[in-house]
Amino acid sequence: MTKRLFAIIFAVALMGICPLAGNAGTAVEIIDNDYQNIVISVKGSTLHVVGANGQVLHIYNVAGVRVMTIKVDGADRRYELNFPKGCYIVKVGNTARKISVK
């Protein structure tokens, strides 16, 4: 009886460690329940933000220093960036984009 119980426990533990062949190719799926449809784009030195009404927009330089913070007060906004030419990171809520100011 003890050997049979041990065999059952071993089989259950082995199933937890080694997935079945049908599940071996399954990828990890990440589900973001806090879905945001925010579009960030830049043309020249004008930043265009769509879908971020009421959120706070942060802009960082490549060294990670925050260079600007704006409260977005509309669904479709444009901001003129008076920054030196270069790359920046724009973050609104959970959305982050790399931009290039030319």
Instruction: Point out the residues of the chain with pLDDT beneath 50.
Output: 18, 20-22, 33
Q: How much is the pLDDT for 21? A: 46
Q: How much is the pLDDT for 85? A: 92
Cα 102 from Cα 99, distance rounded (Å): 10
Q: How much is the pLDDT for 5? A: 67
Bridge partner residues of 89 (DSSP): 60, 98
Q: Which pTM was predicted? A: 0.65
Please state, in angstroms and as integers, the Cα–Cα distance from residue 95 to each residue in 30, 32, 76, following that order: 15, 12, 16
Token representation of residue 68: 């600007």
